[in-house]
Structure 1
Amino acid sequence: MASKTTLSESGISTPKPTLSTVDAGALIVGMVVGVGIFETPALVAANAANAQVALTAWLLGGIMSLVGALCYAELATTFPHAGGTYHYIHRAFGDKLAFLFAWARMAVVQTGSIALLGFVFGDYTSQLLPLGEYSADIYAVLAVIVLTNLNVIGINSGRWTQNLLTAAKVLGLLLVIGVGIFFATAERASTAPAPNQTTTFGLAMVFVLLTYGGWNEAAYLSAEVRGARHNMVKVLLGSIAIITVIYLLINLAYLHGLGMVDMANSKAPAADLMRRALGEGGAKFLSFLIAVSALGAANATIFTGARSNYALGQDFRKFAFLGRWSSKSTPANALLVQAGIALLLIILGAITRNGFKTMVEYTAPVFWFFFLLSGIALFVLRHREPEIERPFKVPLYPIIPLLFCATCAYLLYSSINYTGIGGTVGVLVLLTGVPILLLGNKQ
């Protein structure tokens, strides 16, 4: 295992506990409640036998996320570190896998997610204020540049941007929920699936768990949350509880306002719901809400993604420039490099003209592989470092960690099975880190 960096010992700024539990919670809710909840409920409904099964899938998704959060709560409170999952993999499996994980986040997972969210922001903002043929791409580029600069300026501007975006998003979602429950009425009260639709509950759960994805990013905040050894449990469990309630309520609104059949057949259930209740004005409001949601998720992804890049720079000499923490409590170099890669991916998406789908496929297999490793790391560290104080221990050990690992393994299989060329490209980009690792010299 690597020793502590000489950068911090030389007097250079290092992460400080400046975030409250509310700040951290806003980051996690803002990241998880992104854009998926506006689209995936239709896919879940199409693969559920009836409305009760669909709602059960969303509740089960919250429970499965809670299982994972309990595992991460132990890791984050025992080993608070800006590197988050990188740090756990480093302690459990050593330098090589840790490097490949950090490389994957920098070149595939986080930057691909930032580009994906940029495309969503661009698509929906262009419906309100088009800028020509490449309108969505222009907005995507602007979003990455502006949000990155807000985070480079300082942690206060980054966290207040996130708090405001998350508050606006949650209020907007509450409005959609209210419209669906109190103003919209389904034209058909059918609870059956769409005609000739073969329901697949396993596939429904794939979409559900993808929509819940992102809560694990709380690990990258553990070095910056005040009283992290106790408060990280509140951040993780509280965030998932809020997210689960929001997801159940929004699905109830969809079912009440559209009905099971129309919901399953809809390509944009939230837009259809608002259009049915409030006309085109409601649909335009939803476009604005989705744009805000995409910005909030992008800002949170930018914020946490740079932390693992910073940890990479702390441990590997070739990337030492990433391991510098500015006096404004931000990993400025890591933020800028991350933005540069995300902008390259946006350019790639603009060329292919299928940016959103490509980015989803690009990130999924690599993400679930390393998520599985983080669950296995819990077992390894329990065995290897039993003497370390653990402020929080996973209840019902080893059953809950085994459930978490099984879920990750299932999602890894599903992401490989259901993704196309984008997933293959993501794996190949991950493998480009191997020669870099072999050629590099560790500190």
Structure 2
Amino acid sequence: MKSPVKALSLFDSTCIIVGIIIGAGIYETTPMVAVCMGGWGGTMAAWLAGGLLALCGALCYAELATTYPSQGGDYVYLSRAYGPWAGFLFGWSQLAVIRPGDIALMAFVFARYASTLYAPVPNMGTFYAVGAVAVLTVINILGVRESKWTQNALTVVKAAGLLFIVAVGLAAPGAAHVPASGSITGGGLKLAMILVLFTYGGWNEMAYVAAEIRNPQKNIVRALVFGTVAVATLYLLANGAFLHALGYAGMAGSEAVAVDVVATRMPGVAARLIAVIICISALGAVNGLIFTGARISYALGTGHKVFQGLGKWHPKLGTPMAALALQGLLSMVIVLVAGSFVDTILYSAPAVWLFFLATGLSLFRLRKKEASIPRPFKAPLYPVVPILFCAACVFMLFSSASYAFAEKPVGLLALLSVMAASALFWRKADGTHFGS
């Protein structure tokens, strides 16, 4: 086996999407979103709007992924829309900055909560984070079957854990009545949507493994839509349960909203139980990010000689072993260097939204440039859906870049330096330069 095989079912594909989206964001961001939106009505509206925008993005990616069902996702779309340099820039940025940063982010979350459960010596957090990345990378190297079974199990458990919290919250005595809405400032709305869209991140991951999905013309669309809608439903249920159990004021003032909800019924074990659920949730996100991210590096290696070592599929294990190993190593380096998951967000977020925007715009360009290519699925309500998605990307790009510049300018400059360095690799890879 020297190339990808179609080993992923609809259930496997959906578990990858759901498993990556539901990390720790729903447990961390909900109180601040409530504060920003000024009441329960605004809070629920923000999460509904985030789900609809994520669905718009998923529908755009569904068209691109079914039209070009190859490994690499955005790498393929950007290369075809703008030229090889664009795909190269995306692949290089994912390899050097974005994907290792995303993996490290979720590893930090796992480590933080694992340390509350067992920390026999100081600085166990770093050990837990590095260990999680190392173990899950090895599992992914051993085979696609092992990877998807691990992902499916973690996703089912994390979804069950979130549903358990929802059930406890809805069963709790209702909190005192609060106004449906309060004052909402422009800055508050901006911050709320940044947090909400960050928490919905990951709905596009299925595009990176399109070549490994059975019946891709149907299952890619189903997985993207089912996964995104399922998560949006869970998020709305979770926020409804939080508001019912704690009330708006209690939710907005909570430092550990899920713990506070479970404590209404199970005060003695709430903190440790939630820590276990969040650990499993974070591990599911780490495993999914490792699985899909290596396929981007593999695609980069198949298209450019300078990275040809990454473009090899292990003949016996049936996985992109070199791409997985390098990705794991870089992720562990970021864990050791970044120091916290907040630093990691600031490090990679602007690049993430820049490429989301470029991919959204590529849908318009490819419909004209390659109009003769059959499109098994087309984004509905064109051009409204892709325009909404691109508008959200512009908002997030500006917001994340301005915030990173204000809070962590060194990290933003490092990001720009890494992306600029791709020009040197581009010349070495193709003997040419940007724009040629």
With normalisation by structure 1, the TM-score equals 0.93
Counterpart among 383, 391, 412 of residue 376 in structure 2: 391
Counterpart among 220, 239, 253 of residue 227 in structure 2: 239
Cα distance in 2 for partners of 1:197, 1:411 equals: 17
Query: Contact conserved, 1:28 with 1:215, CA < 8 A, in 2?
Result: yes
Alignment of 1:44-443 (within 5 A): 44-183=33-172, 185-186=174-175, 188-191=176-179, 200-327=188-315, 328-350=317-339, 355-419=340-404, 420-421=407-408, 422-441=411-430
User: Which amino acid letter does the alignment assign opposite residue 121 of structure 2?
Assistant: G
SS at match of 1:47: helix
Query: Contact conserved, 1:194 with 1:261, CA < 8 A, in 2?
Result: no
Cα distance in 1 for partners of 2:205, 2:114 equals: 27
Cα distance in 2 for partners of 1:394, 1:21 equals: 20
Across the two proteins, how many residue pairs are aligned to each other? 427
User: Which amino acid letter does the alignment assign opposite residue 148 of structure 1?
Assistant: T
Cα deviation per residue 1:340-398 (whole Å; 9 max; x = unaligned)? 10011011034xxxx11000111110000000000111111111111001000112222
User: Which amino acid letter does the alignment assign opposite residue 107 of structure 2?
Assistant: G
Query: Greater shift after overlay, 263-272 or 28-37?
Result: 263-272
Query: Greater shift after overlay, 412-421 or 24-33?
Result: 412-421
**CA drift at 1:209:** 0.8
**CA drift at 1:198:** 8.6
User: Which amino acid letter does the alignment assign opposite residue 229 of structure 1?
Assistant: Q
Cα distance in 1 for partners of 2:251, 2:15 equals: 29
Query: Contact conserved, 1:68 with 1:404, CA < 8 A, in 2?
Result: yes
Query: Contact conserved, 1:194 with 1:264, CA < 8 A, in 2?
Result: no
User: Which amino acid letter does the alignment assign opposite residue 294 of structure 1?
Assistant: A
Q: Cα distance 1:197–1:132, how it changes in 2: closer, same or farther (>3 A)? A: farther
Aligned to 1:4: none
Cα deviation per residue 1:27-55 (whole Å; 9 max; x = unaligned)? 00000011100011111101112101110
**CA drift at 1:417:** 2.0
Gaps of 5+ in 1: 1-11
Cα deviation per residue 1:227-273 (whole Å; 9 max; x = unaligned)? 10121110111111100110000001110111111211222211222
Cα distance in 2 for partners of 1:134, 1:346 equals: 13
Query: Greater shift after overlay, 70-79 or 424-433?
Result: 424-433
**CA drift at 1:442:** 6.3
Cα deviation per residue 1:274-309 (whole Å; 9 max; x = unaligned)? 234311411110000000000000000000000000
Q: Does 1:39 align with 2:28?
A: yes
Query: Contact conserved, 1:316 with 1:442, CA < 8 A, in 2?
Result: no
SS at match of 1:392: coil
Cα deviation per residue 1:152-180 (whole Å; 9 max; x = unaligned)? 00000000000000000011111100111
User: Which amino acid letter does the alignment assign opposite residue 246 of structure 2?
Assistant: L
Cα deviation per residue 1:174-219 (whole Å; 9 max; x = unaligned)? 1100111102543x43347899999722321111111111111110
User: Which amino acid letter does the alignment assign opposite residue 70 of structure 2?
Assistant: H
**CA drift at 1:97:** 1.6
**CA drift at 1:21:** 0.6
Query: Contact conserved, 2:306 with 2:425, CA < 8 A, in 1?
Result: no
Cα distance in 2 for partners of 1:229, 1:184 equals: 47
With normalisation by structure 2, the TM-score equals 0.94
Query: Contact conserved, 1:364 with 1:423, CA < 8 A, in 2?
Result: no
SS at match of 2:375: coil
Aligned to 1:8: none
**CA drift at 1:132:** 1.7
Query: Contact conserved, 2:36 with 2:184, CA < 8 A, in 1?
Result: no
Query: Contact conserved, 2:350 with 2:397, CA < 8 A, in 1?
Result: yes
Cα distance in 1 for partners of 2:256, 2:306 equals: 45
Query: Contact conserved, 2:38 with 2:182, CA < 8 A, in 1?
Result: no
User: Which amino acid letter does the alignment assign opposite residue 162 of structure 1?
Assistant: Q
SS at match of 1:278: coil
Query: Contact conserved, 1:194 with 1:265, CA < 8 A, in 2?
Result: no
Q: Cα distance 1:196–1:161, how it changes in 2: closer, same or farther (>3 A)? A: closer
**CA drift at 1:436:** 2.2
Identity %: 41
SS at match of 2:269: helix
Cα distance in 2 for partners of 1:71, 1:197 equals: 31
Cα distance in 2 for partners of 1:425, 1:267 equals: 32
Aligned to 1:5: none
Gaps of 5+ in 2: none
Q: Cα distance 1:175–1:102, how it changes in 2: closer, same or farther (>3 A)? A: same
Cα distance in 2 for partners of 1:163, 1:14 equals: 23
Cα distance in 2 for partners of 1:24, 1:81 equals: 15
Cα RMSD after superposing both structures: 1.9
Cα deviation per residue 1:400-432 (whole Å; 9 max; x = unaligned)? 111111111111011112223233432332222
User: Which amino acid letter does the alignment assign opposite residue 78 of structure 2?
Assistant: I
Cα distance in 2 for partners of 1:315, 1:199 equals: 43
User: Which amino acid letter does the alignment assign opposite residue 383 of structure 2?
Assistant: P
Cα distance in 2 for partners of 1:222, 1:387 equals: 21
Query: Contact conserved, 1:51 with 1:191, CA < 8 A, in 2?
Result: yes
Query: Contact conserved, 1:313 with 1:319, CA < 8 A, in 2?
Result: yes
SS at match of 1:215: coil
Cα distance in 2 for partners of 1:93, 1:225 equals: 26
Query: Contact conserved, 1:46 with 1:264, CA < 8 A, in 2?
Result: yes
